[in-house]
Amino acid sequence: MSAVTIPYKQQLRREARAEGIFRFFSLAAALLVLALLAGVLISLCYGGWPALKEFRFGFLTQTIWNPVTERFGALAALYGTAITSLIAMILAVPVAFGIAVFLTETCPIWLRSPIATCIELLAAVPSIVFGIWGLFVLAPVLQHSVQPWLIDVLGDLPLIGKLFRGPPYGIGLLTAGFVLAVMVLPFITSVIREVFLSTPRSLKEAAYGLGATQWEVIWDVVLPNARAGVVGGIMLGLGRALGETMAVTFVVGNAHRISGSLLAPGTTISASIANEFTEAVGKLYTSSLIALGLLLFVLTFVIIAAARLLLLRLESRGAQL
Amino acid sequence: MNRGSLRKRRITAAVALGASGLATALGLAILAAILWTLFSRGLEGLSLQVFTQTTPAPGSSGGLINAIYGSIVMTMLGLAIGAPIGIMAATYLSEYGRGKQLSTVIRFINDVLLSAPSIVIGLFVYTIVVLGMGHFSAIAGAISLGIIVIPVTVRTAEDMLRLIPSSMRQASAGLGAQPWRTITSVVYPAARSGLLTGVLLAMARISGETAPLLFTALNNQFWSAKLNQPMANLPVVIYQFATSPYKNWQSLAWTGALLITLFVLALSVIARMISSLFGAGETRIE
């Protein structure tokens, strides 16, 4: 046996050296996570610099996107990103809230785990699958039934009517918002469900003891108690929606313009990059697309960081209790 | 607080809870609708040919073998790059750096990277690797997948390592083992199933990723096993074929989508089963 032949002290030294190496590598790997973030930021700044230098603040305020004259502005893509994500949130949040309520309160216990698993499987479906489903299944349905109805019913209303005018293309900002809503639904649901589950039992029982109905307990006790977590979950979903690429690229229509109608084709930051990057010729074109990527990264970073901070504060509060 | 008659309150409760049930039904219906479309359209084009022939030109027949091969190669390489780094980083967070300020910062940044748009990772790898090499390549695709694997593994692996009771570590230390020996001989084996779950979830996450491959691995219509050349992969092939006007390409895109979804769902289910079988606790993909 080798252990016998190696003197005791030598073996100790060897162990200590291995300890140093192992510790070094684990620290290096941990620091690599920080380096990744810095690397992404630096490389995007570097790549997008020519465009930012050329257009300065105009890059953020111009809607023009013309590869021929090499004039680029991010406003149309920024607008599309914001609008599609907003639509997604308006559609997904109430449904996610409903599912979370159902799964934590009304659902029979034996059904909870299977349904929760199904909803979470929705999160595992690759985004490209949502994309082709949106293009071939959802878009025609919207085009033939939902959009004509929206145009008829809402198109003539004074203020919001403008949003629902024009021909029903099927693809466009509204459709992209629908697909995004489906995609972020499981993420928001899972966060809301978790914060609902963490409501102290005693609080709920006290409310029931006062004669509250089940709904009143949820709305007046569980929800206020879980408020920060719910907001965090929604923002996490928003961060996802802003950066989602493939699902949107299929259905948004890829038109660099801002039209008043939600039914019209538009584009988002991620869709523009996905669509045009490999075909972009010229330094300024490529650089503008990278600058778009930088914009997207900063935007999602701020939102996700805020969401995480909210959820983190919640966790530490929970630990104190 | 006056809330009206008890009758009214009960009706409100019934309506609201009924609506929550409907919301759940809607969520399940969407999943069912997507799976149904995938099966009905994907099975149409599914034949042995899909697994024996390379991607065809428009109008002629062919399969997806080069794309399937490319996806497997890049996913495996991505895991080989990302998983060890992720597990080592998680080891630092859970074992060496527990309670340190640095760990809090790294954990936070990691959580942010976890939800960062994957297309931005593609741009990053493009500017570093693709421009550096001068051309698109499979290795660039694998690196961008590897970068996506890191935060997923860090998150799940740290959760799993933390579940190991510290009494086990203390017992090992009491026998005179250095921390690294404790970690590799006691903590890792105890957390084995949890770590495996994390790696499987990371694999599920990257096998469907399209955006970071678009301008790193690009695509290749032909069979290529060279890592420094563009390589076909299922997601990008699905993207290109689905948005094309050719019927045979669209049909193959659906078949590819079915294959990839079945694979990813199977992986997620297996990961769940492992973690529930071995009591590794809840894991989340987010």
Using one digit for the tens of pLDDT, what is the confidence trace for A174-189? Answer: 999 999 999 999 999 9
Q: Which chain B residue has the Cα nearest residue A248? A: B211
Reported confidence tier of residue A261, pLDDT bands at 50, 70, 90: confident
For residue B244, report the phi and psi dihedrals to the nearest 5 degrees.
-90, 160
Sign of CA dihedral B230, B232, B234, B235: positive
The DSSP bridge partners found for residue A253 are: A266
> Are B64 and B255 within 8 A, CB to CB?
yes
* pLDDT beyond 90 at B110: yes
Nearest to B242 among A107, A135, A190 (CB): A135
Closest CA to A117 of B265, B159, B151, B278: B265
Q: Which chain A residue has the Cα nearest residue B19? A: A98
Residue B256's Cβ-count burial label (10 Å; 0-12, 13-18, 19+) is: buried
* pLDDT beyond 60 at B1: no
> Are A213 and B10 within 8 A, CB to CB?
yes
Between CA B235 and CA B215 the distance in angstroms is 12
* pLDDT beyond 90 at B280: no
Using one digit for the tens of pLDDT, what is the confidence trace for A262-320? Answer: 888 899 999 999 989 888 888 899 999 999 999 999 999 999 999 888 888 877 765 54
Residue A135's Cβ-count burial label (10 Å; 0-12, 13-18, 19+) is: buried
Stated as kind and residue range, the H or E segment containing A71 is strand A71-72
Reported confidence tier of residue B2, pLDDT bands at 50, 70, 90: low
Closest CA to B251 of B241, B261, B239, B262: B241
Query: How big is chain A, counted in residues?
Result: 321
Stated as kind and residue range, the H or E segment containing B174 is helix B166-174
Whether residue B106 and residue A290 make contact (CB cut-off 8 A), yes or no, is no
**What integer pLDDT is reported at residue B282 of this predicted model?**
45
The amino acid at residue A216 is E
Reported confidence tier of residue B285, pLDDT bands at 50, 70, 90: very low
**What integer pLDDT is reported at residue B79 of this predicted model?**
96
* pLDDT beyond 90 at B147: yes
Average pLDDT of every residue of chain A: 88
Q: Which chain B residue has the Cα nearest residue A278? A: B215
Token reading at A34: 């920080």
**What integer pLDDT is reported at residue A61 of this predicted model?**
85
Whether residue A246 and residue B115 make contact (CB cut-off 8 A), yes or no, is no
ipTM of the complex: 0.88
Q: Assess A297–B contact: CB distance below 8 Å, yes or no.
A: yes
Fold of A58-320: MetI-like fold (1.10.3720)
**Average pLDDT for B176-199:** 92
Using one digit for the tens of pLDDT, what is the confidence trace for B220-276? Answer: 878 888 888 888 899 999 999 998 888 889 999 999 999 999 999 999 999 888 877
CATH number listed for the domain at residues B49-277 = 1.10.3720.10
CA distance A157 to chain B (A): 27
Which of the residues A215, A295, A311 would you substitute to probe the B interface, choosing the one with the greatest number of B C-beta atoms within 10 Å?
Answer: A215
Q: Which chain B residue has the Cα nearest residue A96? A: B23
Helix segments in A6-57, DSSP class H: 8-55
CA distance B12 to chain A (A): 8
A66 by DSSP, 3-state: which? strand
Sign of CA dihedral A240, A244, A247, A251: positive
B84 contact residues in A (CB cutoff 8 A): 29
Between CA A145 and CA A267 the distance in angstroms is 23
**What integer pLDDT is reported at residue A318 of this predicted model?**
58
Closest CA to A280 of A57, A56, A66, A81: A66
pLDDT > 90 fraction of chain B, expressed in percent and rounded: 60
Q: Which of residues 248-287 of A touch B (CB under 8 A)?
A: 249-250, 270, 273-274, 277-278
Average pLDDT of every residue of chain B: 89
Using one digit for the tens of pLDDT, what is the confidence trace for B201-220? Answer: 999 999 989 899 988 888 88
Token reading at B124: 């990053």
**What integer pLDDT is reported at residue A159 of this predicted model?**
74
Whether residue A243 and residue B215 make contact (CB cut-off 8 A), yes or no, is no
Between CA A61 and CA A53 the distance in angstroms is 14
Percent helix, percent strand, percent coil in chain B, to nearest 5: 75, 0, 25
B216 by DSSP, 3-state: which? coil
Other beta carbons less than 10 A from residue B28's beta carbon: 15
Domain extents in chain A? 2-55, 58-320
Q: Where are the beta strands (DSSP E) in chain B?
A: none
Closest CA to A101 of B278, B4, B23: B23
Nearest to B119 among A133, A185, A245 (CB): A245
Model pTM?
0.89
Between CA A177 and CA A284 the distance in angstroms is 30
Buried b (16+ CB within 10 A) or exposed e, B5-22: eeeebeebbeebbebbee
Count Cβ–Cβ pairs < 8 Å, chain A vs chain B: 284
Using one digit for the tens of pLDDT, what is the confidence trace for A189-226? Answer: 999 999 999 888 999 999 999 989 899 999 999 999 88
Nearest to B28 among A118, A270, A273 (CB): A118
CA-based max dimension of chain B:
75
Q: Assess A308–B contact: CB distance below 8 Å, yes or no.
A: yes
Between CA A121 and CA A98 the distance in angstroms is 18
B135 by DSSP, 3-state: which? coil
Using one digit for the tens of pLDDT, what is the confidence trace for A98-127? Answer: 999 999 988 888 999 899 989 988 988 999
Nearest to B180 among A18, A40, A300 (CB): A18
